[in-house]
């Protein structure tokens, strides 16, 4: 049973920031599974992430309307997605790797959970999409002084927010990053995930 979308919880504030790593761990494992099945989502954002009503909420990715199969289709080049979450290469209107674009969107989702705002919006003019796009293209973001984020987490986000896709951290690398691995639930470990995928006859290479 699905309880609410994650964006509704973020509005509440502190409780989500405390559990941002837990939600991010689930998001990365879910998106990683999609990628292993050769599906890139292309519109990852808080509004497309649902939580069930359990005490330790399980995260579910939804709305695959913009998703694309790398087996059935050529590499995408259409600029789809939500502006605040969109990767620089998607805006170029040239062919791009949808999986690496998903990594960027996961990074934006993490930032929003931790900070409560979008990384590339101009705080003085948040509704100006043109400015948002300019800041995305130049990877111009800051973390407010009042928000405490560990150096490990900052370093992870810095490796996600890279405008050259080939130099951006991959899903596989995120899953071995020290910040990601801290307090990782047993069911999200590589061993547990491999057993889960094997049950579906789809064992990924971690």
Edge-to-edge strand ranges of the sheet holding 49-52: 2-5, 49-52, 59-61
**Phi–psi pair at 199, nearest 5 degrees:** -60, -30
Rounded Cα gap, residues 31 and 27, in angstroms: 6
> Would you list the DSSP string of 71-107?
TTSPPP-S--S-GGG--HHHHTTS---HHHHHHHHHH
- Is the overall model pTM greater than 0.75, yes or no? yes
- Is residue 52 annotated as a catalytic residue, yes or no? no
Segment 94-141, tens digit of pLDDT? 888 999 999 999 999 999 999 989 999 998 898 899 999 999 999 999
Segment 60-84, tens digit of pLDDT? 888 766 555 554 344 445 555 578 9
| Domain 2-190 coded CATH 1.10.510.10 | yes
């Amino acid at each position: 049973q699905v309880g609410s979308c994650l964006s509704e919880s973020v509005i509440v504030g502190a409780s989500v920031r405390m559990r941002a790593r837990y939600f991010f761990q689930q998001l990365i494992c879910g998106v990683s599974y999609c990628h292993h099945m050769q599906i890139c989502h292309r519109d990852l954002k808080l509004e497309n992430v649902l939580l069930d009503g359990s005490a330790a909420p399980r995260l579910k990715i939804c709305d695959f309307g913009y998703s694309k199969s790398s087996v059935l289709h050529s590499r995408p080049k259409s600029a789809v997605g939500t502006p605040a979450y969109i990767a620089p290469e998607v805006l170029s209107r040239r062919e791009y790797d949808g999986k690496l674009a998903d990594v960027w969107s996961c990074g934006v989702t993490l930032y929003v959970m931790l900070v409560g705002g979008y990384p590339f919006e101009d705080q003085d003019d948040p509704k100006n999409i043109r400015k948002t796009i300019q800041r995305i293209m130049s990877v111009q973001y800051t973390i407010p002084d009042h928000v405490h984020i560990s150096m490990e987490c900052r370093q992870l986000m810095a490796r996600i927010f890279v405008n050259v896709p080939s130099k951006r951290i991959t899903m596989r690398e995120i899953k071995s990053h020290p910040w990601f691995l801290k307090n990782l639930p047993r069911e999200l470990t590589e061993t547990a995930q491999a057993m889960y995928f094997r049950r579906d006859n789809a064992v990924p290479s971690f």
